[in-house]
Structure 1
């Protein structure tokens, strides 16, 4: 059986939140003996591009057919419509990549009204959305491998 390998793409615009999400995702990986590599990007809009670039580089695929991508980040609603654009475009980009290129991908880009909501979703326990994203990615690989 081939071992799973995750690329964790971490948008660090909100450093405290992204580090908490990252801790959740890496905790899941370590608890389940999943190897991973962390790729830092400035914001949520860069995540789909980073995944596409990594996916296109076959030498970067860690020698495993069970490669998954975990998208982590946070978008907090502000006073302008920029929030709506970033939310839509990042989600669309990830969905398009997943479907058109048959990429195993899970999305934990938080879309929240305020910082407190982001903190609540990135607690240091199994309710952490980064933890959930890594778990979802693992489940998608199981489905790909016929464990339905």
Structure 2
């Protein structure tokens, strides 16, 4: 069982300026979600950060909520929380894979996300992973987001936006017209 294993844990990052994170949780298994949130909040507060919390219906909606916040708000990072317990159908694989893939893609675009969506075989595994006195995966997800925020601040300023950016000196022209956007 993974509880008896020991793992190296990075020292908590220190920030010169305040950090604000959005915790997005799918409370499908409310008792487990509450423990994950408690661990995340405690880790953020221990680093001197602030947090906001939103709930979404399920794990598949967590990445969408984070993507909306990344586009429309001013959070430094995000903590994705929830729990998916294997059932009798392949829906488990879909939810686990798609939510994880969406979070990873946003991370590759520069969003600082800690993934604390538990993917477990049974409720007992979830309880051990969610409990602050157990594996504290909510706190671990918050710590991951905080470390990514620290790297972002170390290496430069955060940039919003996704997709193609023209190189220095390149002009953006409307396809096929030879005209710049906004001109007649």
TM over 0.5: yes
Per-residue CA deviation, residues 8-46 of structure 1 (Å, 9 max, x unaligned), is 001111101100000000011122211000011111000
Specify the alignment match of 2:176 in structure 1: none
Q: Select the structure that is richer in helix.
A: 1
Which has more radius of gyration?
Answer: 2
State TM-score, norm by structure 2.
0.73
Q: Is 1:39–2:39 an aligned residue pair?
A: no
Per-residue CA deviation, residues 77-131 of structure 1 (Å, 9 max, x unaligned), is 001000000001000111111113x111110100000000000001133730000
Q: CA RMSD in A?
A: 1.4
Query: Where does structure 2 lack aligned partners over 5 or more consecutive residues?
Result: 1-15, 156-184
Give the length in aligned residue pairs: 140
The Cα shift of 1:136 comes to: 1.0
Q: Is 1:105–2:113 an aligned residue pair?
A: yes
2:98 to 89, 101, 117: 89
Matched ranges for 1:1-148 at <5 A: 1-57=16-72, 60-61=73-74, 67-100=76-109, 102-125=110-133, 127-146=135-154
Query: Where does structure 1 lack aligned partners over 5 or more consecutive residues?
Result: none
SS in 2 for 1:145: helix
**C-alpha contact (below 8 Å) 1:68/1:137 kept by paired residues:** yes
CA distance in 2 between counterparts of 1:46 and 1:127 reads 24
SS in 1 for 2:130: coil
Q: Select the structure that is richer in strand.
A: 1
CA distance in 1 between counterparts of 2:144 and 2:103 reads 15
